[in-house]
Amino acid sequence: MASLNAIARKLVTRGQGILAADESEGTIAKRFALIGLPVTLESRRDYREMLFRSREAMSKYISGVILTEETLEQNARDGTPFRELLAETDVIPGIKVDRGAFPMPGSRDEKITEGLDGLRQRLKHYAGLGAGFAKWRGVIAITSYAPSRNGIRANAHVLARYAMYCQEAGIVPVVEPEVLADGEPGDHSIQRCEEVTAETLEAVFKELRLAGVDLSGMLLKPNMVLPGMRSRDRVGVEEVARRTVDTLRAYVPAAVPGIAFLSGGQSDEEATAHLSAMNQLGPLPWALTFSYGRALQTSALVTWDGKDENVAAAQRAFAHRARMNSLAALGEWRPELDLAA
Ligand code: 13P
């Protein structure tokens, strides 16, 4: 079995990043609503098969894919296990292990992520199926009441317990504390996001240390420092990059091999531009790459439109987006490259 550090480093190979394809049934239904497609076991399978069979994207730009429990054990239409398809392009299968975020008891506007019960046994099962890494998302909302110190602390604590269970099972934990930009009311300033992100990361690394997590065998999946989606702030790419990198430098130990951002509702091009600008601020103590869901998939989903005859075009759209983000992970993306396409 490869060491945790070796898996973590492979996931952040230069110019590669992670595809988040672990939408729950509820979330994939929201995505499919964009193209008016009913959600069935088959439609989910066909959609994900389109992505995983995109040879160019998967072999060149994607190091790992976060799957749902359903997909980890699912077969392509011709019966080939998805895990085999991923192995063909040397992509590491990962697994979302949290069971979602639920209203936090005793708190207003806050959520706590559930899924620790039985996690040790589940991880053993996933490791047996070849999962090399896992994901757990903690959600931190910004409202006039939230976050509270207790909300941040509780989410940080469960992230640390999850991470330790993963490492015991030989699985690299991707630790995802997401300070929401697209939550309600979403009118907060970038300054407020920076403060909350700082407080959250400080709490998370404190808990990870207390739990005994090996920082060299994990990855961080944070939000970027952004104004809320409905904020009046107009903030440039350079400012987002600078504030995000400054915050990460202050709170993320250099022992962590890599940071792979979520896209969190940014447009495809924003997510790419921000990542590229951050990588231009180097040298940095960790690799900085992507672990995008929407910002990698939306153009492919819309092109696919649920139709077999669009699969090749959708795969080209996916490969293009993945290549743009690969360049961003190297700090080499330029807007002309997107325009040209
Ligand atoms: P988005 O990039 O669409 O935010 O999704 C990433 C993810 O995995 C959220 O948990």
Q: Whose CA is nearest to atom 10 of ligand 1?
A: 137
Start-to-end Cα distance in the chain: 41
For 246-304, the DSSP string reads HHHHHHS-TTS-EEEE--TT--HHHHHHHHHHHHTT---SSEEEEEESHHHHHHHHHHH
Which atom in ligand 1 lies closest to the alpha carbon of residue 66?
8
Residue 113: C-alpha distances to residues 138, 158, 235 (Å): 6, 8, 31
> 221 an active-site residue?
yes
- Ligand 1 pocket test target in 62, 179, 269, 294 with most atoms within 8 Å of CB: 294
% the chain with pLDDT above 90: 98
Q: Whose CA is nearest to atom 4 of ligand 1?
A: 264
Give the CB-side neighbour count of residue 166, counting CA atoms within 13 A: 35
Average pLDDT, the chain: 97
Q: Please state the rounded mean pLDDT for residues 186-193.
A: 97
Of 17, 126, 113, nearest to 67 by C-alpha is 126
Q: Which domain holds residue 122?
A: 2-340
Which atom in ligand 1 lies closest to the alpha carbon of residue 295?
2
| Separation CA 285–CA 153 (nearest Å) | 26
Reported confidence tier of residue 1, pLDDT bands at 50, 70, 90:
low
Q: Name every protein residue with a CB atom under 6 angstroms from any ligand 1 atom.
A: 20, 137, 176, 262-264, 292-295
Q: How many C-beta neighbours within 10 Å does residue 32 have?
A: 19
Reported confidence tier of residue 339, pLDDT bands at 50, 70, 90:
confident
> 111 an active-site residue?
no
Q: How far is the CA of 138 from the centre of ligand 1 (A)?
A: 12
Q: Name the residue with tokens 């040397």.
A: 90
Instruction: Specify the 3-state DSSP secondary structure of 228.
Output: coil
Q: How far is the CA of 58 from the centre of ligand 1 (A)?
A: 18
Which atom in ligand 1 lies closest to the alpha carbon of residue 292?
2
Residue range 126-157, pLDDT digits in tens: 999 999 999 999 999 999 999 999 999 999 99
Residue 233: C-alpha distances to residues 156, 184, 323 (Å): 29, 16, 30
The torsion of the CA quartet 39, 43, 48, 54, rounded to 10 degrees, works out to: -140
CATH number of the CATH domain containing 253: 3.20.20.70
Residue range 194-252, pLDDT digits in tens: 999 999 999 999 999 999 999 999 999 999 999 999 999 889 999 999 999 999 999 99
Q: How many domains does the chain have?
A: 1
> Please, which residues have CB within 8 angstroms of residue 96's CB and are 6 or more apart in sequence?
22, 24, 66, 67, 68, 69, 134, 135, 136, 137
Choice among 10, 96, 111, 221 that is catalytic: 221
Q: How far is the CA of 335 from the centre of ligand 1 (A)?
A: 23
| Separation CA 231–CA 224 (nearest Å) | 15
Q: How far is the CA of 85 from the centre of ligand 1 (A)?
A: 22
For 100-143, the DSSP string reads -EEEPTT-SS-EEE---TTHHHHHHHHHHTT--EEEEEEEE--S
Choice among 23, 176, 178, 207 that is catalytic: 176
- Ligand 1 pocket test target in 19, 51, 262 with most atoms within 8 Å of CB: 262
Q: How far is the CA of 139 from the centre of ligand 1 (A)?
A: 11
Residue 253 has pLDDT above 70, yes or no: yes
Of 120, 158, 119, 166, nearest to 139 by C-alpha is 158
Of 150, 137, 156, nearest to 109 by C-alpha is 150
**Sign of the CA dihedral with 24 first, then 141, 148, and 165 last:** positive
Q: Whose CA is nearest to atom 5 of ligand 1?
A: 293
Instruction: Specify the 3-state DSSP secondary structure of 93.
Output: strand
For 41-78, the DSSP string reads HHHHHHHHHHHHT-HHHHHHTEEEEEE-HHHHT-B-TT
